[in-house]
């Protein structure tokens, strides 16, 4: 699997609800509304909450963890 190595390692950083995405971070990320577990979309376009089915989109490797920005999908 090809990986982008042109960037420094990402560490969990929280700033204004936006956080850099990393495998370690994905394990600890939870839905900000109900603290439900999140599943990464197969195309990595977003994170979907298992509890409320909100989908938080990912822009430039940064998940937008804001309830106001999330879409609820079936
Ligand atoms: Zn949720």
Determine the Cα–Cα distance for residues 27 and 24; give it in Å rounded to an integer.
5
9 lies in some domain: no
Please indicate, yes or no, if residue 8 is contained in any of the structural domains: no
CA of 66 to the centre of ligand 1 (A): 11
- Number of separate domains in the chain: 1
Q: Which domain holds residue 45?
A: 23-72
Express each pLDDT in 10-29 by its tens digit: 555 544 555 557 778 888 89
Q: What residues pack around ion ligand 1 (CB closer than 5 A)?
A: 31, 33-34, 36, 49, 51-52
Query: What pTM does this model have?
Result: 0.69
CA separation for the pair 10, 74 (Å, rounded): 32
DSSP β-ladder status, 54-59 and 46-49 = antiparallel
Residues 35-44: what's their mean pLDDT? 92
Report the CATH number that the domain containing residue 37 is assigned in CATH: 2.20.25.10
Confidence bin at 3 (pLDDT 50/70/90): low
10 located within any domain: no
Q: Is residue 4 part of a domain?
A: no
From its phi and psi, is residue 61 left (phi > 0), alpha (psi between -120 and 50) or beta? left
Query: Looking at the domain assignment, is residue 15 inside a domain?
Result: no
- Dig out the tokens for 39 from the structure: 């599943």
> Is residue 6, in this structure, part of any structural domain at all?
no
Q: What is the mean pLDDT of the chain?
A: 81
Tens digit of pLDDT for each residue in 52-68?
999 999 988 889 999 99
């Amino acid at each position: 699997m090809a990986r982008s190595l042109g960037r420094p390692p990402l560490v969990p950083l929280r700033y204004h609800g936006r956080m850099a995405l990393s495998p370690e971070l994905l394990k600890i990320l939870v839905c900000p509304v109900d603290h439900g577990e999140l599943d990464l979309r197969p195309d990595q376009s977003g994170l979907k909450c298992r509890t409320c089915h909100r989908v938080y989109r990912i822009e430039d490797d940064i998940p937008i963890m804001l309830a106001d920005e999330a879409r609820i999908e079936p």
